[in-house]
């Protein structure tokens, strides 16, 4: 028997893996043929709408849904559990009743007809005001963690900066709102087309509250219109949709309206920080003494991992969560990291300015503080940062362009540079798959995963095409239903490793079986066989075509299962990453223009270069959004999210992004690491990099993100 | 084409007592109207009237049933099953619902179906006939100008309409001209490259 090990091919032997491959579902997406949960349209589908609370904190005094029954077209009402009279409202947008009707407008009429009275309670929605939170009893007990001797290190320091920093709450703003289309194809059997990043994990979330077996629930999601961490759950409105469908005997669709989507569909929590940082005369950071706070909504959580990446040896970290009546947070692409980075790398940048150092040099001087000395991967990462900084600096011409703070004017614009560092785990998620080889040589794959936008189908097709030496188009990829072998949710950059590992393992096992059959039939040594370009070769001699080889498995074909992750080197975790921004600020209007923005990213083994670059570009644009414009604005008086619409909640448009430069850091040492997830890392350090660039341009720091024109003008107006 | 969204009428599916009762448990908390009740309600309070209308979509006439308040987007999506144009549940800001009306890029959610009478409506579905794809579609795929893809059909239509008008557009014109659409996943770079490539070829 030949010795066989699971691995990726040697890098130079890859034909498609790591190249630029068009996504195999690209035409579906670009032509509107791709069906999202909102697009499921069987005859007789009803429309459901929600009555949600206009108050942030209240008790329901009375609720009368009967008047809705007089509205033409209204079919059915559903009262959310816990929202009967006496029930508590903890945030604006809390769902109370769902109404299903023949048309959307009739459902709206039904909602308007409901009679409800609230006892309005004293809400608290202030995220920044820690003193007010203490006064109102809304602050959770402070947690403190301490290392070394902070007091002595600050006393001995050659330079210190003390300041306030912050980053506001943002929403996920998935363009396809949360929701589902539900129908009951047979008694007791639910088919839910759910907009979800968790196809395999959601059937039970329907089954339990509906009182049916999870085996009787199929969750289907061929395409999802954005999730970013907010769509792991069936959600109580998903259950409402299924219940309305069961009761009316009709299919029902229920998707959140935009305002409700923004209020309850998930947010990334805020973070604010009072800090003193210290360094010696060489710019070596010696101490961090910080207190950070923020809110995740009614449960009063706050962010962690501050300080971030660069961890001073002497440090005191105090953390306070605030209980608010703001909409609850959900995991948002790289949970904690963008905030932690924005609250750390801005402080380091200010310390560099205080020491009249180029921040590039200060970051470089402190790379020995990355992670911990005891962690091998942290130590490895220090070298990656140094190498990536060098690459990024070249692409940006950092050393050529760098001037101190407030020293670079061109025309009537103020220019500046900023940089920041990030890290992410990105370990492969759990998953299973089935790979089927048909006697004609075509290959089919099945797994209960989903395509969040990463290009999951294409990654699977590339993996199998490379394994069998066939074109990407010869692989039929089936995903997006809970009927297939279970896979983990798509979150935390776990998907590409999570699907390529199992498919490679299953593919190799199938290939080896076929090689054994070929070896027996053609009297060659199985250990010499490879599958390349539609042929099976022994050394460089053709033995047979791929279909001839596949035919040997017999009329039933061959079916192999794969699973992962395993410790066989196909996947890995931990990446670094560097981003640098060049901005121009108009001091008259306060508008910040992105001139050039560079991202250098290590990602281990690359599956699809085109999709990888897209991921990074998309993440950079999201960074521009939260750095410059997007912000949830809560009104203290009414307790309401006052810019909960796409017009007032500002996202960048196509003209707002400037020149984007992506560089994959990929020496052979990266290829041999195995696949590491890429979704999160590039969305982390852009906020801090852009804030640092604006501070460099203006000559002073705007303490909180986003850097709206108003904040720019306010900061400039302070002498 | 028949209105697919009209549920069959008169289905005795609900007991009025359930409707009034409400309940915390998902299992028991729903209720529906019976046909008689519904007819009676319609007599008591006329919220709306519906009327038949012919719309020309992608070169074909379709008879649809609308209320005065029904938008073109609702008709396209739920009566004609042309779901390429998306409804972001917001008004007139995002462009995911972009269609062409007499050649002009228009948000279908801002147009009442009645207003679209007598006009030539083109949706994203018209840009692909089997394997024959509009160059904008092919070029979007080439530049990977999509991630989740939800904004993509609207962007494809906006790009088609823009290039029809400005076949030799410059980078600055593209940046201004496609500013009516939002993408959350951040696919603007690919869309820009795609539009620029097509503009360099005369709009293809
Ligand atoms: S591709 Fe997801 S919103 Fe544009």
Give tens-digit pLDDT for A256-282. 999 999 999 999 999 999 999 999 999
pLDDT digits (tens, 9 = 90+) for A368-382: 999 999 999 999 999
Q: Is B137 on the interface with A (CB under 8 A)?
A: yes
- Residue A310 tokens read as 């660069």
- Residue B17 tokens read as 């007592």
Confirm if A414 and A408 have CB atoms less than 8 A apart.
yes
- Residue A628 tokens read as 């410059």
Q: Is B135 on the interface with A (CB under 8 A)?
A: no
- Mutation pick from B10, B31, B126 vs chain A, by most beta carbons of A within 10 Å, is B31
Cα(A656) to ligand 1 centroid in Å equals: 16
Q: Is A103 on the interface with B (CB under 8 A)?
A: yes
Q: Is B152 on the interface with A (CB under 8 A)?
A: yes
The answer to whether residue A355 scores a pLDDT higher than 80 is yes
Interface of B with A in 171-200 (CB under 8 A): 174-176, 178-179, 181-192
Closest CA to A249 of B79, B11, B39, B28: B11
Ligand 1 binding pocket mutation candidate from A36, A175, A625 (most atoms within 8 A of CB)? A175
- Note whether A75 contacts B14, CB cutoff 8 Å: yes
Q: Is A108 on the interface with B (CB under 8 A)?
A: no
**Mean pLDDT score, A177-183:** 98
Total beta-carbon pairs less than 8 A apart between chain A and chain B:
291
Q: Tell me how crowded residue B72 is: count the other CB atoms within 10 A of its CB.
A: 29
Give the integer Cα–Cα distance in Å for A38 and A255.
Answer: 7
Confirm if A165 and A347 have CB atoms less than 8 A apart.
yes
State if residue A269 touches ligand 1 by the CB under 6 angstroms criterion. no
CA-closest residue to ligand 1 atom 4: B183
State if residue A371 touches ligand 1 by the CB under 6 angstroms criterion. no
Class of the domain covering A38-121+178-255:
alpha beta
Confirm if A332 and A268 have CB atoms less than 8 A apart.
yes
Percent of chain A with pLDDT over 70: 100
The radius of gyration computed from the CA coordinates of chain A, to the nearest angstrom, equals: 28
Closest CA to A260 of A51, A103, A83: A51
A267-426+572-716 CATH pick, 3.30.460.10, 3.40.50.1820, 3.30.365.10, 3.30.70.141: 3.30.365.10
pLDDT digits (tens, 9 = 90+) for A486-501: 999 998 899 999 999 9
Q: Is A65 on the interface with B (CB under 8 A)?
A: yes
Going from N- to C-terminal start, the domains of chain A cover 11-32+428-564, 38-121+178-255, 267-426+572-716
Confidence of residue A141 (pLDDT cuts 50, 70, 90): very high
Q: Tell me how crowded residue B118 is: count the other CB atoms within 10 A of its CB.
A: 9
**Mean pLDDT score, A4-16:** 97
- Residue B25 tokens read as 């448990």
Confidence of residue B8 (pLDDT cuts 50, 70, 90): very low
- Note whether A614 contacts B29, CB cutoff 8 Å: no
| Closest alpha carbon within chain B to A209 | B26
Task: Look at residue A1 in the predicted model and tell me its pLDDT.
Answer: 61
Task: Look at residue B6 in the predicted model and tell me its pLDDT.
Answer: 41
- Mutation pick from A29, A211, A255, A627 vs chain B, by most beta carbons of B within 10 Å, is A29
Nearest to B150 among A226, A244, A615 (CB): A226
Confirm if A551 and A559 have CB atoms less than 8 A apart.
no
Q: Which residues, at least 6 apart from A12, have a Cβ–Cβ distance to it below 8 Å?
A: none
pLDDT digits (tens, 9 = 90+) for A49-100: 999 999 999 999 999 999 999 999 999 999 999 999 999 999 999 999 999 9
The answer to whether residue B20 scores a pLDDT higher than 60 is no
Task: Look at residue B12 in the predicted model and tell me its pLDDT.
Answer: 34
Q: Which atom of ligand 1 is nearest to the CA of B151?
A: 4
From A143-157, A272-286, B90-104, the region with the lowest mean pLDDT: B90-104
pTM: 0.94
Q: Is B108 on the interface with A (CB under 8 A)?
A: no
Q: Is B194 helix (H, G, I), strand (E, B) or coil?
A: helix
Percent of chain A with pLDDT over 90: 99
CATH code of the domain occupying A11-32+428-564: 3.30.365.10
- Note whether B176 contacts A652, CB cutoff 8 Å: no
State if residue B152 touches ligand 1 by the CB under 6 angstroms criterion. yes
pLDDT digits (tens, 9 = 90+) for B82-91: 999 999 888 7
Confidence of residue B48 (pLDDT cuts 50, 70, 90): low
Q: Do domains A11-32+428-564 and A267-426+572-716 have the same CATH topology?
A: yes
Q: What is the mean pLDDT of chain A?
A: 97
- Note whether A30 contacts B152, CB cutoff 8 Å: yes
What DSSP line would sit under A235-257, residue for residue? -HHHHHHHHHHHHHTS-EEEE--
Nearest to B179 among A32, A175, A654 (CB): A654
Ligand 1 binding pocket mutation candidate from A23, A453, A622 (most atoms within 8 A of CB)? A453
- Note whether B31 contacts A175, CB cutoff 8 Å: no
The answer to whether residue A669 scores a pLDDT higher than 50 is yes
Alpha-carbon torsion, ordered A596, A601, A605, A606, to 10 deg: -20
Q: Is A51 on the interface with B (CB under 8 A)?
A: no
Confirm if B54 and B117 have CB atoms less than 8 A apart.
yes
Q: Is A501 helix (H, G, I), strand (E, B) or coil?
A: helix
| Closest alpha carbon within chain A to B38 | A72
**Mean pLDDT score, B91-118:** 93
State if residue B171 touches ligand 1 by the CB under 6 angstroms criterion. no
- Mutation pick from B23, B84, B183, B189 vs chain A, by most beta carbons of A within 10 Å, is B189
The pairing of beta strand A704-705 with beta strand A159-167: parallel
Task: Look at residue A719 in the predicted model and tell me its pLDDT.
Answer: 64
Task: Look at residue A2 in the predicted model and tell me its pLDDT.
Answer: 73
The answer to whether residue A436 scores a pLDDT higher than 70 is yes
Distance from CA of A587 to the nearest CA of B (A): 23
Give the integer Cα–Cα distance in Å for B81 and A36.
Answer: 13
Cα(A408) to ligand 1 centroid in Å equals: 36
Q: Is B76 on the interface with A (CB under 8 A)?
A: no
Going from N- to C-terminal start, the domains of chain B cover 51-200
A6: preceding bond cis by omega (within 30 degrees): no
Exposed/middle/buried for residue A339 (C-beta within 10 Å: 0-12, 13-18, 19+): buried
The answer to whether residue B47 scores a pLDDT higher than 70 is no
CATH superfamily of B51-200: Beta-grasp domain (3.10.20.30)
Q: Is B99 on the interface with A (CB under 8 A)?
A: no
Cα(A174) to ligand 1 centroid in Å equals: 8
């Amino acid at each position: 028997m030949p010795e066989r090990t699971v691995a990726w091919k040697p890098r130079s032997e890859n034909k498609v893996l790591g190249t630029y491959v068009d996504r195999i579902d690209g035409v579906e997406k670009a032509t509107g043929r791709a069906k999202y949960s909102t697009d499921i349209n069987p005859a007789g589908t009803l429309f459901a709408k929600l009555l949600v609370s206009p108050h942030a904190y209240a008790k329901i005094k009375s609720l009368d849904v009967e008047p809705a029954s007089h509205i033409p077209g209204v079919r059915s009402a559903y009262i959310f559990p816990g929202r009967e009279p006496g029930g508590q409202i903890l945030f604006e947008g809390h769902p109370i009743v769902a109404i299903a009707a023949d048309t959307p407008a009739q459902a709206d009429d039904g909602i308007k007809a409901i009679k409800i009275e609230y006892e309005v309670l004293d809400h608290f929605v202030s995220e920044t005001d820690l003193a007010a939170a203490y006064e109102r009893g809304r602050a959770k007990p402070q947690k403190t963690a301490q290392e070394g001797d902070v007091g002595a290190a600050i006393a001995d320091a050659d330079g210190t900066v003390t300041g306030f920093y912050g980053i506001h709450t943002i929403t996920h703003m998935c363009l396809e709102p949360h929701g589902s289309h539900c129908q009951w194809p047979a008694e007791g059997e639910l088919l839910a087309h759910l907009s979800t990043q968790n196809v395999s994990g959601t059937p039970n979330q329907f089954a339990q509250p509906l009182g049916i077996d999870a085996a009787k629930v199929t969750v289907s999601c061929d395409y999802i219109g954005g999730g970013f961490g907010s769509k792991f759950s069936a959600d109580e409105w998903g259950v409402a949709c299924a219940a309305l469908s069961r009761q009316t005997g009709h299919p029902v669709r229920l998707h959140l309206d935009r305002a409700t989507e923004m209020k309850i569909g998930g947010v990334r929590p805020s973070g604010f920080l009072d800090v003193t940082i210290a360094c010696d005369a060489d710019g070596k950071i010696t101490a961090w003494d910080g207190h950070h706070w923020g809110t995740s909504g009614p449960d009063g959580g706050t962010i962690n991992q501050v300080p971030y990446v660069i961890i001073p040896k002497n440090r005191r970290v105090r953390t306070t969560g605030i209980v608010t009546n703001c909409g609850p947070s959900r995991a948002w692409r790289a949970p904690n990291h963008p905030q932690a980075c924005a609250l750390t790398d801005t402080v380091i940048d200010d310390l560099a300015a205080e020491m009249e150092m180029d921040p590039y040099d200060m970051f470089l001087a402190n790379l020995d503080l990355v992670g911990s000395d005891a962690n091998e991967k942290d130590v490895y990462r220090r070298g990656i940062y140094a190498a990536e900084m060098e690459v990024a600096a070249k692409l940006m011409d950092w050393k050529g362009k760098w001037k101190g703070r407030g020293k670079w004017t061109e025309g009537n614009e103020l220019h500046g540079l900023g940089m920041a560092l990030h890290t992410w785990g990105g370990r492969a998620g759990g998953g299973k798959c089935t790979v089927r080889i048909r006697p004609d040589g075509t290959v089919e794959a099945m797994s209960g995963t989903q395509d969040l936008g990463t290009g999951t189908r294409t990654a699977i097709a590339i993996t199998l095409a490379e394994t069998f030496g066939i074109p990407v188009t010869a692989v039929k990829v089936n995903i997006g239903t809970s009927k297939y072998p279970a896979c983990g949710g798509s979150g935390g950059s776990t998907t590409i490793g999570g699907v390529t590992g199992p498919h490679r393992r299953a593919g190799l096992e199938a290939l080896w079986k076929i090689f054994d059959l070929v070896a027996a039939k053609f009297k060659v040594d199985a250990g010499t066989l490879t599958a390349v370009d539609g042929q099976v070769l022994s050394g460089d001699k053709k033995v047979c075509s791929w279909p001839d080889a596949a035919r040997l498995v017999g009329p039933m074909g061959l079916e192999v299962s794969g699973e992962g992750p395993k410790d066989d080197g196909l996947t890995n975790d931990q990446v670094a990453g560097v981003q640098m921004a060049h901005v121009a600020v108009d001091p008259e209007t306060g508008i910040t223009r992105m001139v050039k923005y560079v991202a250098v990213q290590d990602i281990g083994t690359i599956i699809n270069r085109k999709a990888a670059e897209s991921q990074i570009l998309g993440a950079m644009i999201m960074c521009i959004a939260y750095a410059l414009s997007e912000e949830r604005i809560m009104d203290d008086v009414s307790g309401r999210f006052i810019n909960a619409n796409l017009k007032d909640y500002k996202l960048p448009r196509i003209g707002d992004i400037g020149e984007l430069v992506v560089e994959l850091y990929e020496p052979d040492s990266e290829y041999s690491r195995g696949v590491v997830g890429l979704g999160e890392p590039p969305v982390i350090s852009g906020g801090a990099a852009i804030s640092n660039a604006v501070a460099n341009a203006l000559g002073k720091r705007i303490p909180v993100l986003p850097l709206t024109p108003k904040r720019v003008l306010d900061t400039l107006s302070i002498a | 084409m028949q209105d697919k969204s009209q549920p069959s009428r008169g289905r005795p599916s609900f007991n009025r007592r359930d409707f009034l009762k409400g309940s915390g448990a998902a299992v028991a908390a729903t209720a529906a109207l019976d046909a008689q009740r519904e007819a009676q309600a319609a007599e008591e309070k006329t919220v709306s009237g519906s009327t038949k209308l012919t719309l020309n979509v992608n070169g074909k006439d379709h008879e649809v049933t609308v209320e005065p308040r029904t938008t073109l987007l609702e008709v396209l999506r739920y009566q004609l099953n042309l779901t390429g144009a998306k409804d972001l549940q917001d008004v007139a800001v995002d462009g995911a619902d972009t269609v062409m009306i007499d050649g002009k890029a228009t948000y279908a959610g801002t147009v009442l179906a009645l207003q679209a009478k007598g006009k030539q409506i083109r949706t994203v579905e018209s840009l692909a006939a089997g394997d024959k794809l509009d160059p904008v579609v092919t070029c979007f795929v080439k530049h990977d100008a999509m991630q989740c893809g939800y904004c993509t059909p609207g962007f494809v239509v906006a790009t088609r309409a823009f290039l029809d008008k400005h076949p030799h557009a410059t980078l600055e014109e593209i940046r201004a001209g496609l500013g009516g659409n939002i993408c959350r996943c951040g696919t603007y770079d690919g869309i820009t490259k795609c539009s620029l490539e097509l503009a360099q070829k005369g709009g293809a």
